[in-house]
Structure 1
Amino acid sequence: MSFFDTVGKMAIGSRLRLLTDKITEDAAQIYKLYNVDMQPKWFPVFYQLSQQEGQTITAIAKDIGHSHPSVSKIISEMAAHGLVKEKKDKSDGRRNMVSLSAKGKEIVTKIQHQYTDVNNAIEELQANTRNNLWKAIEEWEFLLQQQSLLQRVQQQKKQRESQDVEIVPFQLQYQQAFKNLNEEWISTYFTMEAADYKALDNPKAYILDKGGYILVALYKGEPAGVCALIKMDDPEYDFEMAKMAVSPRMQGKHIGWLLGQAIVAKAKEAGARKIYLESNTILKPAVNLYYKMGFSKVIGHASPYERCNIQMELDIQ
C-alpha cells in the first residue's frame, strides 16, 4: 500500500505536486528533444506573446492567471535568454510593452511540431483512462473559485466543533457567565450603559420574570455564549433579541448561529410574530449573522443605547 493510499485525500496537495513535478520534468526533456530553448515555466507567457504582440505585464498576468510579480520574473528570465524585448508604450510612457524578440519568433515556428506531438500524446494517454483528467481539473477549478479549499475546511471545522455545543435554558448558575460574556464584548467596543447593568445585574427580574427567556450555549459543558429574548410592550414586536454574546475564545464554532436559531425557535414556541433587535454596524460579524438569519433593517424606533445605530426585525409568522 502506497503512502497516499494510507494518508488519503488530506495529502491531495502533496500528490498534485508530485504529479506536477513529474510532468514538468518531462516537459523540460521534451523541449530538449525538439531543440527548443525554453523552460516549462515560461510557456504560458511565451504562448500568450505568440498569440498577441506587445502586451503589458499586467495584461499577461491577467490572461494567464498568474501574479504580476511571477510574470515580471519570467519576463526578466526570458529577456536574459534573448526571447523577449521590452519598450515604452507610445501612448503611455509609464508602461512597458513586452513582445517576442526575433529569437522568440523563431521558436514560434520551430515549436509547432512539438505542439502537435504533445497534444497527440496527451490524447492517447487520456484515451487509456477511465476518468477525463482535463474535465476533472475544469470542474475542480470552478468549484474552488466558488469556495476555496480553506473555506471548505473552515466550514467542516465549524460543523465538527458545533457538535460539542449544547443550548440550554438559563439557570442561576449561569448568571455570572451571562454578565461576563456580555460585559467583555461591550467593553471591548463601547462603554457599559445603564440599560446594560439593569439586564446583566439581575436577569431574572429584568428579563425572565417579565416573560422573557435566556438561552446559554455550552461548549463541552462550559458557558461559551448567551442570548436573551426580552418581552416588549409594543404593538408591533413581541420580543427583542438582545444580549447575544459569544466568548472570543470560542468563536468560529457556529455558536452564534446555533444560539440565534434556538432563540428564534423559542420565540415561535411562545407564539411571537416579530422579533426586534438593536446593534451597531461596527460589529460586522454580528450584523452579517442577523442578515443571514433573515432580519431586515428598520428605522424610527427609540433606543435606550447610545451605541445603537442599526435596528432590525424578523417576521417569524
Structure 2
Amino acid sequence: MNIYNTVGKMAIGSRLRRLSELMMDQAGEIYALYGIELQAKWFPVVYALSGGAEKSITQIAQEIGHSHPSVSTIVKEMVKQKIAKESPGKEDARKNFVKLTAKGLAIKESAKIQFEDVNSAVENMLGESQYNLWKAIEEWEFLLGQKSMLKRVEEEKKLRESKAVEIVPYNDSYQQAFKKLNQDWITTYFKMEEADFNSLDHPKEYILDKGGFIFIALYQGSPIGTCSLIKMENNTFELAKMAVSDEAKGKGIGFMLGNALIQKAKEEGAKGLYLESNTILKPAINLYHKLGFKKITGIPSPYERCNIQMELIF
C-alpha cells in the first residue's frame, strides 16, 4: 500500500485493479464455500443468460458492458466446463448464439442463497464505510462516459503546455521563423504564390510599415507559431499568415494567437477582422468558428487557394 500513498491519485487505475483482483480472489473463495463450480469472472455472463434464452456474444457484451473478445473468451471457458453451449444462428449461421446448459441452469439455481448472503454482506460493508463505493463507481462510470480519462489528461497536458507559451511582437530576429512556419504549411497543401513571397520575404515593408502587426508564439523560447494583422481599408484588419509548427499542434497555440490578435485589433480601434482560407484546412476553419468568425462572400482574393472568406465584427 505504501506505493499508492507515495504515488498518489495518478495510480487510481492500478489501485482499482488491485481492489478488483482482491475482490475476485475472495469471490472465488465464496463460491467454494457454497460448493458452486463457478469462476467469479463468469458471473456477469451467467447472469445475462439466466433467463434461459440464447443470446449472441454481441448481445451479452452490450448487456454487461464488456468487450466482445472478453465475452468470447469467457464463453469458451464456460463451454469447456459444460456450463454453456454455443450453436449457429438459425438466420445467420456465421453468428454463434450462447445459452446455459442444464448444468449451468442448475448452478444458477443453487447460487440463489449465496447471492442473498453476498448481497447482505455488501450492504453491511457499505454501512460500515464512510463513503458509498457503489454510488461512487456509478458516478465515475458516468463521468468517464461523458469524457474519457484520455481526453481529460490531454486537456491537462494542453493547459500545462499553454502556460509555457509566450505571445510576443515580431522583430527582425524572427523573420526566418515567420517565413518557414508559413512556407511549411502552404507547400504541404498548396503552392507558394506571389503574395506569399512578398509578405514572407519582406514582412516589414508589406505588413508592418503599412500599419499591420505580426505576433510570434514562443514555447520555451523557440518560435512555434505566428500570425499577422494586415491593415485594410474601412478600419479593418485581415487576419493572415497564421501558422503553427507540426510539433506544437494540439497545444492550443492557434487559439492563443487568434485571441491575441483580436485583442490587438480592438486596441487599435478596428471595427472587425477579415480572413481568407480554404475548406480543406478543417482544423483551421473550426478554429476560426471558435474565435467567432462567420462566412461571407463577394470579396476578390489575390490567392488561388482561397475558397472561403470569413469576418468577425466587433
- Give me the TM-score of the superposition, normalised by structure 2: 0.94
Aligned-pair CA distance for 1:52 = 5.9
Q: Which region of structure 1 is more displaced relative to structure 2, 281-290 or 113-122?
A: 281-290
- Pairing partner for 1:294 from 292, 295, 314: 292
In 1: Cα distance, 2:302 partner to 2:179 partner: 18
Give the SS at the match of 2:301.
Answer: coil
- What per-residue deviation string (whole Å, max 9, x for no partner) do you get for residues 49-92 of structure 1? 11361111111111211111111111111111111122232233
Aligned equivalent of 1:18: 18
- Counterpart code for 1:102: A
- Counterpart code for 1:100: L
4+ residue runs of structure 1 moved beyond 4 angstroms? Answer: none
Aligned equivalent of 2:245: 247
Give the SS at the match of 2:192.
Answer: coil
- Counterpart code for 1:109: E
- Counterpart code for 2:265: A
Aligned equivalent of 2:101: 101
**Kindly tell me: are residues 271 and 31 of structure 1, through their superposed partners in 2, closer, same or farther at Cα, counting changes over 3 Å?**
same
Check whether the contact 2:52–2:100 (CA below 8 A) recurs between aligned residues. Answer: no
**Structure 2: stretches of 5+ with no match in the other structure:** none
Q: How does 1:298-309 map to 2 (within 5 A)?
A: 298-309=296-307
Aligned-pair CA distance for 1:183 = 0.7
Aligned equivalent of 1:275: 273
In 2: Cα distance, 1:300 partner to 1:209 partner: 28
Give the SS at the match of 1:278.
Answer: strand
Q: How does 1:1-317 map to 2 (within 5 A)?
A: 2-51=2-51, 53-233=53-233, 238-315=236-313, 317=314
**Structure 1: stretches of 5+ with no match in the other structure:** none
User: How many residue pairs are counted as aligned between the two chains?
Assistant: 314
Aligned-pair CA distance for 1:295 = 2.2
- What per-residue deviation string (whole Å, max 9, x for no partner) do you get for residues 152-199 of structure 1? 112111111212211111112211111011111112222112221121
- Counterpart code for 1:115: F
In 1: Cα distance, 2:298 partner to 2:57 partner: 53
Measured on the aligned residues, the alpha-carbon RMSD in Å equals: 1.8
- Counterpart code for 1:241: L
Aligned-pair CA distance for 1:119 = 0.7
Q: Give aligned-pair identity as a percent.
A: 58
Give the SS at the match of 1:51.
Answer: coil
Q: Which region of structure 1 is more displaced relative to structure 2, 281-290 or 134-143?
A: 281-290
- Counterpart code for 1:268: K
**Kindly tell me: are residues 73 and 309 of structure 1, through their superposed partners in 2, closer, same or farther at Cα, counting changes over 3 Å?**
farther
